[in-house]
Amino acid sequence: MINQDGLPTGPHKPELVARLEQLVAFIGDSPLDAALEDRLNRHFGPQTPEFQDMTRLLRAGIEEGWACYAEIDGADYRRGRLGTAGDGVHDFVIESARLKDVKGNHHRHPLGEINMIQPLDPAGRFCGSGEGWKVFAPETSHYPTVTGGACTFIFLLPKGKIEYSDGP
């Protein structure tokens, strides 16, 4: 069950939350690694109705004001919490983001991170990856960088763990 207490909502949010609950169940107790990235891209990748639905619903959420609602660094760098999944395994904090040609704040993933990349512009890339799933393993770090235009995202942080820094 995804807890949304105190978070913005709208007509399409329950449908996205239902899809996210299916996603969290699919991830189960899988480690956050290249094998999970491959499984996500095969079973929930851009070619699937699930991916297309989640993309459509997230973009509806942006229009309705419950996704990507907080300006982080100008209009081209926005985020918004969608909820928390208390699954007793990863306990994901689930966020939304919209970035356009931006290099974000350097951060480390103590427990990893899962990103669903949804380019708005055909050339849009997130950390070099196009449409699909990108999994950062535990103890990795990066500058969240979008090139080639704008992308929207859903990202999952195990136990909400993320550590910002000035970078290497």
Q: What is the pTM of this model?
A: 0.95
Q: Is residue 89 part of a domain?
A: yes
| Residue 1 belongs to a domain | no
**103: in domain:** yes
Contact 19, 56 (CB under 8 A): no
The first and second tokens of residue 77, run together, are 């760098």
Cβ-proximal residues to 160 (8 Å cutoff; 6+ apart), any chain: 84, 91, 92, 93
Residues 6+ apart with CB under 8 A from 103: 143, 144, 145
What's the order of all strands across the beta sheet hosting 140-142? Answer: 140-142, 107-109, 163-164
Tokens of 21: 């609950």
Task: Determine contact, residues 44/23, Cβ cutoff 8 Å.
Answer: yes
Walk along the chain (168 residues) and give the pLDDT tens digit of each residue: 788 999 999 999 999 999 999 999 999 999 999 999 999 999 999 999 999 999 999 999 999 999 999 999 888 999 999 999 988 889 999 999 999 999 988 999 999 999 999 999 999 999 999 999 999 999 999 999 999 999 999 999 999 999 999 877
Phi first, then psi: what are they for 104, rounded to 5°? -80, -170
The two most distant CA atoms of the chain are separated, in Å, by: 42
| Domain ranges, residue 63 | 6-164
Q: How many domains does the chain have?
A: 1
Q: What is the DSSP letter of 13?
A: H
Closest CA to 57 of 5, 19, 100: 19
Residue 93: inside a domain, yes or no? yes
Residues 38, 45: Cα–Cα separation, whole Å: 9
CATH, residue 80 = 2.60.120.10
118: in domain: yes
Does some domain include residue 52? yes
